[in-house]
Amino acid sequence: MSTALSRRQFAASLASAPALLSQAKTPPNIVWITGEDMGPQLTCYGFPHMRTPHLDRLAGEGVRFTRAFTSAPVCSSSRSGFITGVFQTTTGTHHHRSHRKDGYTLPSFARPIMDRLRDRGYFTCNVRQIAPDVQGSGKTDFNFRADKPFDGTHWNQRQKNQPFFAHINFTAPHKGPSFPRARKQKYLVDPARIELPPYWPDHPTVRDEYANYLDAINLLDTEVGATLDSLKKDGLLENTLVFFFGDNGRCLIRGKQWCYDAGIHIPLIAWWPGGGLKAGQVREDPVSALDMTATSLWAAGVDLPEKRDGRPLFGDKASPREHIFAARDRCDMTLDRIRSIRTARFKYIRNFMSERPYTQWNQYIERQYPTLGVMKELHGAGKLNANQSLFMAPRKPDEELYDVSTDPHEVNNLASAREHQGTLLDLRAKLDRWLWESDDQGRFPESSAAQQL
């Protein structure tokens, strides 16, 4: 779809969202529901083999964003960004699982959203027990010191009629105990029927891993349904703004930890029955997970901080984006530095450590991604095609440029194509400007005290 049409849709979406705060008797409750390591593999996003009725209903009654991206392709860095609404590369929280022992605090201009909402009178909670057999993980995973980020573990602990902010984390799509649990569901995705991206070999192990991940998303959908039922039972849905989103992209090869769309593209659904949002809207403009933070503050009537990177998605302070930025730095023991810019049509990636291969040692990936073992074996036997061999290359390209409108899996690098040099130069310049203006801390070596391996 053209950028012009996306802008018209954006304008129409704002026109359908009235000045909600002046109408509301009390500030709305705000609920963030996070699917960990989750891309947009839902029925409402066009995945036919999924069974996600609760999230599909949420999208049908709310606003679904088709081009939503996180600012980092790994959880702790992404969370350190969207919990403050400021790029993690600006606040020095860009390395995965950093600052766990050195007492690092955020710069004075950056505050967690919980603190800003608490100043407004909100009760904040990281919800654990939702139903007898449904629990939130309680995950925070911030790359900064946060002694008591939340007031409690459930909205029922607040004072009577006190507005609340609740963050609910579901681990189902994350590698771990939920994957075998997902296989116990009555309905399972048929590995033989799913479409594989062109950079994976067609192998039973690869199909099984992907299908198991999709099964885990179906499991998460039932947990979301239980959460909505719990809110309804407590009479809280009418004046509650709900965001559903992933904290980073899917936990599969060439997804999580990488700035390709598979690593940063997430589902994002906004639902607010009492907020005047037009049901069933589909927004195609590029948005960042940081925008969810700004939108929540706006909805709560909190003055937006002067130094912020998120933008309200609705209301009179909203403005469309032409592009989003994402950054990857050290992940576990694997050192790298990658920056990217994504428009509605193009993706530009700069690999600052291009001499390091995609497959440099990472214990988590080696242990949790069976597809990697298959790819190594087939690569050694010379049985991978050109697209499948990309991830096995001895080094990364210095620059990558993809036309994601025709190449959604980002396998055809156009950086050297003569007809795309204008786009390359434009996006290169925009990325350079962002690195400078955002004061990207990734240009400085990480101290040993900050690392937590």
pLDDT at position 296 is: 98
User: Does residue 64 sit in the same domain as residue 198?
Assistant: yes
Is 268 part of a structural domain of the chain?
yes
User: Does residue 186 sit in the same domain as residue 239?
Assistant: yes
DSSP for residue 390: G
Strands 164-170 and 123-126 come out as: parallel
User: Does residue 343 sit in the same domain as residue 300?
Assistant: no
Domain that includes residue 59, residue range = 3-320
User: Does residue 283 sit in the same domain as residue 372?
Assistant: no
Q: How many residues does the chain have?
A: 453
Cα separation, 307 vs 87, whole angstroms: 11
Is 329 part of a structural domain of the chain?
no
pTM (2 decimals)? 0.95
Q: What values do phi and psi take at 291, rounded to 5?
A: -70, -30
Cα separation, 93 vs 98, whole angstroms: 7
Using DSSP's 3-state secondary structure scheme, residue 263 falls into helix
User: Does residue 215 sit in the same domain as residue 123?
Assistant: yes
User: Does residue 316 sit in the same domain as residue 184?
Assistant: yes
Over its length of 453 residues, how does the chain's per-residue pLDDT go in tens digits?
A: 344 445 665 565 554 444 444 344 589 999 999 999 999 999 999 999 999 999 999 999 999 999 999 999 999 999 999 999 999 999 999 999 999 999 999 999 999 999 999 999 999 999 999 999 999 999 999 999 999 999 999 999 999 999 999 999 999 999 999 999 999 999 999 999 999 999 999 999 999 999 999 999 999 999 999 999 999 999 999 899 999 999 999 999 999 999 999 999 999 999 998 888 999 999 999 999 999 999 999 999 999 999 999 999 999 999 999 999 999 999 999 999 999 999 999 999 999 999 999 999 999 999 999 999 999 999 999 999 999 999 999 999 999 999 999 999 999 999 999 999 999 999 999 999 999 999 999 999 998 888 865
- Say how many domains are in the chain: 2
User: Does residue 189 sit in the same domain as residue 284?
Assistant: yes
Is 327 part of a structural domain of the chain?
no
User: Does residue 292 sit in the same domain as residue 382?
Assistant: no
Is 147 part of a structural domain of the chain?
yes
Is 153 part of a structural domain of the chain?
yes
User: Does residue 34 sit in the same domain as residue 131?
Assistant: yes
Using DSSP's 3-state secondary structure scheme, residue 57 falls into helix
Is 410 part of a structural domain of the chain?
yes
pLDDT at position 5 is: 44
Count CB atoms within 10 A of the CB of residue 381: 8
CATH number at residue 235: 3.40.720.10
DSSP for residue 242: E
Examine the fold and report which residue of 288, 320, 352 is the final residue of a domain before the chain moves on.
Answer: 320
Examine the fold and report which residue of 287, 320, 353 is the final residue of a domain before the chain moves on.
Answer: 320
User: Does residue 292 sit in the same domain as residue 166?
Assistant: yes
The two three-digit tokens of residue 238, written as one number: 């009418």
Is 183 part of a structural domain of the chain?
yes
User: Does residue 241 sit in the same domain as residue 352?
Assistant: no
Cα separation, 367 vs 354, whole angstroms: 24
Is 325 part of a structural domain of the chain?
no
User: Does residue 191 sit in the same domain as residue 61?
Assistant: yes
Q: What is the dihedral of CA 277, 283, 286, 287, to 10 degrees?
A: 30
pLDDT at position 26 is: 81
Examine the fold and report which residue of 267, 289, 320 is the final residue of a domain before the chain moves on.
Answer: 320
